Structure 1
């Protein structure tokens, strides 16, 4: 095994959670490689909010500062590449990359995030993360007290209404097809003055990602300034599944409170292993993953 290809930890994914894990490990003198192709899922989002000391900065600003700080730790190195496979051996893991590199590590951190699956609505992806948003904590304050829509249906819609209703009294449900509300739910929506539009959406008109109106299949239109959407996702990579990591019913990597997956030596952090999608939480889970791997490596030596 080539010494320059061997690492104590390989971190797959170099956004907030991966960098946070790398910092914890770098401060513990661990030889670490971070593999990242510089395509974070929030690269279209104009500003990152609700993250103490960084509130209102762009995602790129935060990531740039984070990487600069991590690079001060000499035992951490970076590879601009894409991990395509990880195979578990007896005591190590073999990582292969898109550019043909083969790397060996004692431990693996999967910090690859998730991939949002965009609906077949013209203009939706252009607005995603800008004015079509997923989280009232990350973006709600910037879109408070405006005419707002929620693209959702049934129970998943009702779960989100209280948080969004707290930010605006001008709220409409867009079911994007036949509604899936029972009479009791409809009564509650009416009681709180929440309109329901039971039509299929074909287009979101916008200016540079800022919503102006929604166009329905029957040709009618409605004006909005902001929209929340509940959309499906998938793991950004098949690596956790190929390794045998268990996934939750929702599709996240199953981890315990220490960010350990169901496969020994493999940890996961960030959006791929939690429904809580925020920069602050990603940083926290990455820090935990890095600290816990360092403890494992230390305990393996000090038996």
Structure 2
């Protein structure tokens, strides 16, 4: 029996492991080594770590956590998390079930890109999903936004902060209201609602977008509006409340609606999917997990 099982080895899970390790709690972190930012070359916005490679960030975190002997990293794919009374059982593909007093879900999200041929060839190199992460590197250059969802207008006006040379491509979908189109046009943002027939470039660097009409637009890259969903089903399996966006509902301390289950990081969909925000949520949840375990011991 351990104090806490952390499902997910991203910034939220690793930050929680560090805090709990320093609190002398027995912890197992389950990581299947399939991070959503695997295609990302650099991570930005984390003070003292701006521009770090995600693999380097994880390696540094593992090295620091290894100083705390009560924390164990397990490279395993979790198949189920079950609640049996006040105890949780974590099942994996190839290991014995593990029992824990508390579970922290830091499983993150998975993303789906618009249905455009070849889009994954450019994603992570010249097409990105977050202007706060990659807008600086693309500043003042001709960009495209490929977006098919209701957040298209918001993302377009956000990108405008970094580049005034922007084309919004909705790939044959009508997702903008007339007044939104007019406002974009007022600020020099072009809108093309025609279907995208091809993305042209080399070595991951996008050079132009070709539309079904034969029209083309040159660019050096841009952004993509992705659809996000839970990367793992454990919150639903355990009966946790979910919000309208599909995120795990938590209170400010990271507690879910199920006693003994906490959640942190992108899976909560509480704000932008940022490295520093996920890490902060993991740290905060860990402090309250430790407080919960202490109260149980005292009473």
One fold, TM greater than 0.5?
A: yes
User: What is the distance in 2 between the residues matched to 1:276 and 1:195?
Assistant: 25
Task: Give the stretch that moved more between structures: 225-234 or 59-68.
Answer: 225-234
Instruction: Map 1:242-281 onto structure 2 (within 5 A).
Output: 242-274=237-269, 275-281=271-277
Aligned to 2:207: 212
User: What is the distance in 2 between the residues matched to 1:114 and 1:121?
Assistant: 21
Task: Give the stretch that moved more between structures: 126-135 or 266-275.
Answer: 126-135
Aligned to 2:293: 297
User: What is the distance in 2 between the residues matched to 1:109 and 1:267?
Assistant: 5
> Which of the residues 155, 161, 176 maps onto 2:156?
161
The alignment partner of 1:205 has SS state of: strand
The alignment partner of 1:42 has SS state of: helix
Q: Kindly indicate whether the alpha-carbon contact (under 8 Å) linking 2:3 and 2:102 is maintained by their aligned counterparts in 1.
A: yes
Instruction: Confirm whether residue 137 of structure 1 aligns to residue 132 of structure 2.
Output: yes
Q: Kindly indicate whether the alpha-carbon contact (under 8 Å) linking 2:168 and 2:192 is maintained by their aligned counterparts in 1.
A: yes
Q: Kindly indicate whether the alpha-carbon contact (under 8 Å) linking 1:110 and 1:269 is maintained by their aligned counterparts in 2.
A: yes
What's the TM-score once normalised by structure 1's chain length?
Answer: 0.94
Deviation of the 1:218 alpha carbon: 3.4
Instruction: Give every structure 1 segment of 4 or more consecutive aligned residues whose post-TM-superposition deviation is greater than 6 Å.
Output: none
User: What is the distance in 1 between the residues matched to 2:243 and 2:281?
Assistant: 17
Instruction: Confirm whether residue 98 of structure 1 aligns to residue 93 of structure 2.
Output: yes
Instruction: Map 1:51-66 onto structure 2 (within 5 A).
Output: 51-66=46-61
Aligned to 1:19: 14
User: What is the distance in 2 between the residues matched to 1:123 and 1:65?
Assistant: 33
Instruction: Map 1:141-152 onto structure 2 (within 5 A).
Output: 141-152=136-147
Q: Kindly indicate whether the alpha-carbon contact (under 8 Å) linking 1:11 and 1:32 is maintained by their aligned counterparts in 2.
A: yes
Q: Kindly indicate whether the alpha-carbon contact (under 8 Å) linking 1:123 and 1:206 is maintained by their aligned counterparts in 2.
A: no
Unmatched 5+ stretches in structure 1:
1-5
Instruction: Confirm whether residue 224 of structure 1 aligns to residue 219 of structure 2.
Output: yes
Counting matched residue pairs gives 298
| Cα distance change of structure 1 residues 155 and 40 upon mapping to structure 2, 3 Å threshold | closer
| Cα distance change of structure 1 residues 178 and 237 upon mapping to structure 2, 3 Å threshold | closer
Unmatched 5+ stretches in structure 2:
none
Deviations for 1:30-52, whole angstroms, at most 9, x for unmatched residues?
Answer: 00000101121101111111110
User: What is the distance in 2 between the residues matched to 1:256 and 1:127?
Assistant: 38
> Which of the residues 280, 283, 287 maps onto 1:284?
280
Instruction: Map 1:164-203 onto structure 2 (within 5 A).
Output: 164-203=159-198
Q: Kindly indicate whether the alpha-carbon contact (under 8 Å) linking 2:152 and 2:176 is maintained by their aligned counterparts in 1.
A: no
The alignment partner of 2:151 has SS state of: helix
User: What is the distance in 2 between the residues matched to 1:38 and 1:206?
Assistant: 30
| Cα distance change of structure 1 residues 210 and 27 upon mapping to structure 2, 3 Å threshold | same
* RMSD over equivalenced CA pairs, Å: 1.5
User: What is the distance in 1 between the residues matched to 2:55 and 2:18?
Assistant: 18
Aligned to 1:67: 62
Instruction: Confirm whether residue 108 of structure 1 aligns to residue 106 of structure 2.
Output: no
